[in-house]
Amino acid sequence: MIGKYWQISTISLVLLVVTFAQPGLSDSSSNADPVYSEPFCLKIFEEVAEKARSGSWQISDRDRHILTQCRAKFPPTINSQIPLPTAAECLLVVKTLVEGGLSKVKEIELPEEKVRSIERCDEVLKYYSMPSANMLPTLKPNQKLVVDKTSYQTQAPQRGDIVVFNPPNLGQSEPNQQPLTRRTIGLPGETVRIENGKVYINNKFYREDYLTQPATGRSQSFPIPKNSYLVIGDNRNTPDPSIVVKSAIVGKVVWHF
């Protein structure tokens, strides 16, 4: 049980909560934020972990902000000798945290050799918010997303996967541009044609039962290059489809709420 190692891993679990609870796509900061020292941050980490262990801690906006800034400046040391956990193991912890809180995490049954590996879940999962209506009705604006960063290390994206990807201009011509969320429709070497709102892959109609509104707009054809994918929002009346290279894909959305 995780509870057996509760004293060891509480700080990591608390930081998982803080990361996941962020309202935006990434840790937020501004020039007005105070500069926290390492001793101060270590003290805050220990105080919050102690409150969490006692079951008396409820995260406040102030706690979240301080912990986020401290974590960005002084990330916890992770032993690289600890095996990397699987996405399923990390997702189990995250779901339990969200649905049952820290106290429920102690009840999770994991093999002893896996418990310490949970400290490395940030290397496996990434957390986002859905900022727009581009994926309606599947994903609603402001829903939280959990992305498996390891999903495409051993396999290629599959048709129908919902993915988060970095657009080509991320941080360049549009400094406020953030990663985007779309559904994978076209695979390398295929030609996708969109006509009257319907999708044809290599001239064969592709049925999409998750769509609820008819799409509008011009007819388009997309020859998909090697190692690239055509991604489209489920809300087909939003921005045009995009061709994305595999290296730009952050990972697969494995949970949302």
- What are the E-state strand segments in the chain? 125-129, 144-148, 162-165, 180-186, 191-195, 198-201, 204-206, 220-223, 228-232, 242-245, 249-256
What pLDDT is attached to residue 146? 93
CA–chain centroid gap for 247, Å, is 16
Of 16-20, 39-43, 100-104, 190-194, the range with the lowest mean pLDDT is 16-20
pLDDT(31) > 60 = no
CA–CA gap between residue 253 and residue 244 (Å, rounded): 16
DSSP string of 194-240, one letter each residue: EETTEEEETTEEE--TT--S---S--EEEEPPTTEEEEE-SSTTSSP
Instruction: State the DSSP H helix or E strand holding residue 92, giving kind and residue range, or none if neither.
Output: helix 87-100
What pLDDT is attached to residue 22? 47
What pLDDT is attached to residue 34? 72
What pLDDT is attached to residue 231? 97
Each residue of 242-255: pLDDT tens digit?
A: 999 999 999 999 99
pLDDT(140) > 90 = yes
What pLDDT is attached to residue 100? 78
The 8-class DSSP code of residue 127 comes to E
Q: What is the mean pLDDT of residues 13-23?
A: 56
With a pLDDT cut of 70, the percent of the chain lying above it is 78
Domain 129-256, CATH 2.10.109.10 — does that match?
yes
Tell me what percent of the chain is helix, strand and coil, each rounded to the nearest 5.
30, 20, 45
Q: What is the mean pLDDT of residues 93-118?
A: 77
Q: Does residue 25 sit in helix, strand or coil?
A: coil
pLDDT(27) > 50 = no
**Contact, 145 vs 217, CB < 8 A?**
no
Q: Where are the domains of the chain?
A: 2-123, 129-256
pLDDT(237) > 60 = yes
Q: What is the mean pLDDT of residues 227-244?
A: 91
What pLDDT is attached to residue 176? 57
